[in-house]
Structure 1
Amino acid sequence: MARRAWQAYERLLLANASQITALESSLRSITYVLPGRFKDAELAGEAIYAGVHLLGMYHDSVLFKIVYSRRAKQAHALVQQARDELSGDLPKLSLHARYTNFWHSSSRRYGTAAVLLMIIEASQLFVEMVARRKLRERAWDVVVSIELLKALLRFALVQASQRRPVVQPPLPQREIDPALLEHSSASPTYTWHGERSGVTHTSINALVPLPNAACGVARTEEPDIYEYLLSHTLTDQDVAPPAQLVRKLQGTVGRVAEAVYILRPLVYVLALRKWGKRDAKPFVLSLVLELLAASLRRRSFYLPRESAEKMPVPPMSSVSLMLSMLGIENSFLDWLAGSLSRSDPRRALAKPISAVEGDEWAARDRSFWWYLLRGPVWYNYTRPKLESLVRRTEGKRLIGVLASIGGDYLPLVDEYYYYTAA
C-alpha cells in the first residue's frame, strides 16, 4: 500500500515537475518575509521551510535517479519509462554530483550518514526554536546534542570516503530543468534513432528555442552550435575517476586539520553555553580554531623542503623571456622579474586539483564572513550599523520595505544560534 502511494506521488512529480519546483521556490520565498508578521511567525515560517527543504531533497533524489543513476534499470517501471522518454543526450553531470554520487552509490555508510546530515541541517533551526520555547535555558543542551551528532556524522563521511575531507553538500543536487521530464504528445520530437546502432541522439533542432506560445510568435534564432559543443566538451576532470576529484587527507597534519574543522562548531556551542553569546571568549576560540584548521589544511599538502629541492627547475618567467628576446641584458631587471615570479615550489601542491576541492575550500574561506554576525562583533559593530540603516530608510518605498524585513531578523539573530551557524 505504501509502495503504491509513493509510486503515485512519483507519477505526480514526473507529470508536474516544473510546477512543483516553482511551488517549492514560492514557499521558500514566503518564509523569508514571515518573521515579525504575527506571533510565532518565525516558527511557522521555519516549519514550512524545513518541510519544503526535506521534500525537495526527496524530489532531487527521484530526479537524479531518473536521469543519471546507474541503478535506474532496477527501479520500478514508472521511473524506467520516464528515463526512456527523456532525451538520450543527457546534460553533463557536474563534478560535485559525480563525486558525491560515487560515494553514495558505492558506500552504504556514506549514503546513510550523508542523508542524516542533510536532514539534520534542514531541520536544526526549527528544532532549536521549539526547544527555546519548551526548555528555556536547557535548550543549549539540544543545540549541543545536534552539533555532537553532526560531528559524528561528518567523521563517518571522512571514514567512508577513505579519509577524504567532507564536501558540502554531501549528496548530488538538482542539476536538470524539471520541465524536461514533463512529457506531452503535443510536444515536438527533437531526437532521432539510429537504425543500426539503436542509439537515440539529440536532433540539431533541439538547439532552436521553442515557439513562444504565450505570445503566439515563433522564435527563429539560429542554433548556437558552438555553445552546444562547448557544453559537451570533456575535460581531464570529467574523465578522471570520481574518487580522485578530492585528495585524501595528507598525513597527520591533514587529519588534524579536518578534525579541528569538524569539531569547531561543537567547541563553539559548548563555549556559548558556558560564557554566553556576548562574551568574547567563545568568539575568539572559534575564530582561532577555524584559522588553525585552514592553515593546517594548506600546510598538509606541502612537500618537505628536501623533496621540494629535487623538483624540476621552474621555467623562465615571462618577463625575463621577453627581455631576452628583445636582446635587453639588464641584471637588475632580470633579478626583479625573477623575484616577482619566484615562489615556493611546495605551494603549487596546496592548490586544489579539481573544481570540487576548489569549491569546498572557497566555501570554507567564505564562512569567515559569518563572524560579523557573532559575539561582540555583532553586538558592538554589525547590529548597530544595521539598526541605523533601518532607521534611515524607514518610510522609503522599496528600500524601506527591504530594510524593515531585515530589521525583523535582528532579534532572531540575538536569540537563535542556527541563524548564524555556517
Structure 2
Amino acid sequence: GALAMATALRQLLVRYRGLVVGSPALATQLEGGFRTASYLIAGHFADSHELSELVYSVSNLLVLLNDGILRKELPHSLLMPLPQHQLLTWLTVLEHLEVFTEMCSARLWGEGFRWLIITAIQLTKASLRVLLLLRYKTGIHAPTMAPLDRDGHLCREDPQGEPHGEADNRWCSSDTFTGHRSRRVVRTLNRTSSQHFHQWGTPQERVQSSPGGAQPPPTDLSKQEVVAEALYIARPLVHLVTLWIWGWRSWKPWLVSGILDVTSLSLLKDTKVMTREERSELQRRTFALLYYLLRSPFYDRYSETIILFLLRLLADHIPGAGLVAHPLMDYLPVWQKVYFYNWG
C-alpha cells in the first residue's frame, strides 16, 4: 500500500543521490538533455508551448536538485545558513515555475485567474526577497540561487596540489592531463565545466584565484543601497498596480517601471567594494534594460516591425538562417502574451 510506495520512493531517491554524487558529469548531461528536448518540442504540435516550458522547468529544477545533493558533500564552511538557503531555494523554484504556471492557469481557468496567479507569485517573491535583504543581509543577489560551481567546489586542491577528501579524489582524478613533452596541463573531456561557470584556466589557476572555493560574504549595504535594492524588489508590484490603473496599452506602466529600474541602478554605482558575484548581478540588471525594447507598448509601436523585418531579411538571404528565424517569428506572439517572459 502507501507504506510500500513510500519505501520504494525512498530507495529510489537514495539510488539517485548515489548516482549524482558518484558521477556529477552524468547529472550535468541529464540536465542538458532535458533542456535540449524543450527546444526541440516547441512549435511542433498543439500545446507544445506549455509542454516545452514544462520540460525546460524540469531541467532547471533538476539543476537545483542535483546542486542540493552535491552541496551536502561540501565542507560546512562553504554552506550558507539553513534558513537563508531555504528562502533562496523557494525563490528559485518560483522563478523556474512561474512561466509554466502562468501559461497553464490561462489555458485552464482564463485570464482573470491568470492575473490572480501572477499577482500571488510576485507578492511571494517580493516577500522572500525582503526577508533576504533585511533579515539575512544578503546584499545584492541574483533572482535565483546561483548554480553550484561543480568544478571549483567539488574539485578542490590544497596548495601542494592534493585534493581534499576521498570524494574529491574520485571527482578530480582525471580532470587534467599533463603532456609528456610539453608538460602543458590541459583539461580532459571526462568532466566538462558547468555552463554557468565555465573558465578557461587550469584547476590550479582557479584555486589560486579562489582559495578553497569559498564564496566571499555579501557586501554590507548603505542606506542608499538598501533603498536601491528595495526599489528593485518593489518594481514588479508597482508595475502590476500601474497596469491595473492605466491598462496594458498605456505608456505609464512602461515608463514608471523603467524609471524604477534606472533609479535603482544609479543608486548602486559604487561597485569597487562589491564582490565579483554582485558586480555580475549589476551587469545582468543593466543588460536586462534591453527588455524594454520588447515590452509593450514600445514593442507594438516600434520594435515589432524592425525585428520581423530583420528576421525575414536573414531568412531570405542567409542559407540556413531560416531554420532559426522562422520559428522565432512564430514564437514572438507567444512571447508577448506571457507576462513572466517580458516582466518576470
Instruction: Identify whether the pair has TM-score above 0.5, normalized to the shorter chain.
Output: yes
Aligned residue number for residue 132 of structure 2: 157
Aligned residue number for residue 112 of structure 1: 86
- Change over 3 Å in CA distance of 1:297–1:416 after alignment to 2: same
One of 262, 286, 301 as aligned partner of 2:233: 262
CA distance in 2, matches of 1:201, 1:128: 43
CA shift at 1:141, angstroms?
Answer: 1.5
Aligned residue number for residue 306 of structure 2: 385
Identify which range, 40-49 or 371-380, moves more after superposition: 371-380
CA shift at 1:250, angstroms?
Answer: 0.3
Q: Answer with 1 or 2: which has the greater Rg.
A: 1
One of 71, 88, 97 as aligned partner of 1:64: 71
- Change over 3 Å in CA distance of 1:353–1:203 after alignment to 2: closer
SS at match of 2:321: helix
Aligned residue number for residue 371 of structure 1: 292
1:130 counterpart letter in structure 2: C
1:123 counterpart letter in structure 2: L
Q: Contact between 1:393 and 1:400, CA under 8 Å: does it hold in 2?
A: yes
One of 265, 268, 276 as aligned partner of 1:297: 268
The two structures, once aligned, show a CA RMSD in angstroms of 3.5
Q: Contact between 2:336 and 2:342, CA under 8 Å: does it hold in 1?
A: no
Q: Contact between 1:283 and 1:375, CA under 8 Å: does it hold in 2?
A: yes
Give unpaired runs (5+ residues) of structure 2: 1-6, 156-160, 186-200
SS at match of 1:208: strand
CA distance in 2, matches of 1:51, 1:361: 27
- Change over 3 Å in CA distance of 1:272–1:18 after alignment to 2: same
- Structure 2 residue 187 is matched with structure 1 residue 224: no
One of 256, 276, 282 as aligned partner of 2:253: 282
1:131 counterpart letter in structure 2: S
One of 83, 108, 116 as aligned partner of 1:134: 108
CA distance in 1, matches of 2:177, 2:214: 34
Give unpaired runs (5+ residues) of structure 1: 72-97, 181-190, 194-198, 210-218, 299-348
Alignment of 1:13-52 (within 5 A): 13-52=20-59
Aligned residue number for residue 405 of structure 1: 327
CA shift at 1:146, angstroms?
Answer: 0.6
CA shift at 1:388, angstroms?
Answer: 1.6
- Structure 2 residue 219 is matched with structure 1 residue 247: yes
CA distance in 2, matches of 1:285, 1:174: 37
How many residue pairs align between the two structures? 311
CA shift at 1:160, angstroms?
Answer: 3.6
CA shift at 1:54, angstroms?
Answer: 1.0
Q: Contact between 1:117 and 1:153, CA under 8 Å: does it hold in 2?
A: yes
